[in-house]
Structure 1
Amino acid sequence: MQKVVIRLANVADAAHISYVGKITFSETFGHLFRAEDDLRHYLKTTFSVSKITASLHKSSNVFWVAFVDENPIGYAKLKLDSPTEFVDATSICQLQKIYVLKAFLSLKIGYELQSRLLTKAKELSYEYIWLSVLNSNERAIQFYQKNKFEIIGNHDFTIGQEHFDFFAMGKCLNEITS
């Protein structure tokens, strides 16, 4: 039986998070890039160990990392104090990332990471949480809708020569029961 461990991440986990981020982003979005150089550049800059290390040092970020048999297979990131134009609330945080390697999706680790992240946001007295999801990522959209997130707006993002359309999704945290 596989041993699953999920815990708060620390700076020593930067390489684990970098590794999981590069693979999961490539697995999920790599096929959307016409130019491999655009994808490679994005992975190199966004998921570099130094950038992840700097992000782990910020008090406005909380990370969790998931392991199966001591191998890193997922992570989640909560960004505190992250207002959005789509919501009129004073205490807003953002579910910035839940990444799980494709081979481990069936273990429901994404759900457990989300549960811990939402619990932490509520413990810190946040009123509202939001996230961005690629509007063609039906699996992720269904996951979030199943967990009571609703589409609250649209926005776009450009990487190299690729243009992506996203849904902003969110929910009130006072509706969560722990």
Structure 2
Amino acid sequence: MTGISYRMAGTADAAMLASLARRTFTETFGHLYKPEDLAAFLESHSTERWAEELASPGFAVRIALSEGEAVAFIKIGPPTLPFTPVGPSIELRQFYVLKPWQGAGIAPALMDWAIGEARRRGAEHLYLSVFTDNHRARRFYARYGFTEIGPYAFKVGTHVDEDIVMHLALEARP
């Protein structure tokens, strides 16, 4: 698809990102959960929470837009996953592309930005978690050199999924 532009998100984007986060998560995973579990999880994607994170220098969010409409985003921030960092680390917190734009080159552009931004911030390690059954995402991350380091219990409401924590040593890539 043509006409994709990218920019950094700011606090004025909080409502748009909250909506996009809810939409992309539901589009990708909504069919896996009871409505009450999905609704409870989506509450965490409030405009207020996004505004707090966007105002924090510890977070960075990059948005992909098509004709002015946000169609994807990637967010990095302080590590929260259950792992023991071996040095300065950043976590890839969220990474979603709406289905009509998957395969359009947006994901590699956003991932390249995230890796570069993590390095710019002095991180030597980048961590993320991915749903065990999200094979497309796991293959994508593996192409970048991410390796699996162990399972992670990811809660959606009262439902617990098994995610996989993955790691990329940033100094290993030029």
TM-score (norm 1): 0.91
Among candidates 150, 153, 157, match of residue 150 of structure 2? 153
Question: Which AA in structure 2 matches 1:120?
Answer: E
Q: Residue 97 of structure 1: CA displacement? A: 1.1
1:70 paired residue number: 68
Corresponding residue of 1:38: 37
Unaligned 5+ residue runs, structure 1?
A: none
CA RMSD of aligned residues (A): 1.5
Instruction: Tell me which residue corresponds to 2:117.
Output: 120
**Equivalent in the alignment of 2:92:** 95
Structure 1 runs (4+) deviating above 6 angstroms are: none
Distance in structure 2 (CA, Å) of the matches to 1:156 and 1:61:
23
Of residues 110, 130, 134 in structure 2, which corresponds to 1:133?
A: 130
Cα pair 1:2 1:69 within 8 Å, conserved: no
Structure 1 Cα separation of the partners of residues 85 and 127 of structure 2: 12
User: Percent identity among equivalent residues?
Assistant: 27
Instruction: Report the counterpart of residue 25 of structure 1 in structure 2.
Output: 25
Q: Is the 8 A contact 1:83 1:92 kept in 2?
A: no
Give the SS at the match of 1:131.
strand
Find the aligned partners of 1:74 and 1:57 in 2 and give their Cα distance: 20
8 A Cα contact 1:133 1:167, kept in partner: yes
Contact 2:127/2:165, CA 8 A, preserved across alignment: yes
2:45 aligned partner = 47
Among 159, 162, 165, the alignment partner of 1:165 is: 162
2:2 counterpart letter in structure 1:
Q
1:34-68: CA deviation from partner (whole Å, max 9, x where unpaired): x212212221x221111111111112111111100
Aligned residue in 2 for 1:175: 172
Cα separation, partners in 2 of 1:174 and 1:162, compared to 1, 3 Å = same
1:86 Cα offset (Å): 3.4
Number of corresponding residues = 174
User: C-alpha offsets along residues 118-170 of structure 1, whole Å, 9 cap, x if unaligned?
Assistant: 00111122111110001111111111011110001111122223110010001
TM-score normalised over the length of structure 2: 0.93
**Residues 123, 173 of structure 1: alpha-carbon distance in 2 compared, 3 angstrom cutoff:** same
1:20: Cα distance to partner? Answer: 1.4
In structure 1, how many angstroms separate the alpha carbons of the residues matched to 2:85 and 2:104? Answer: 36
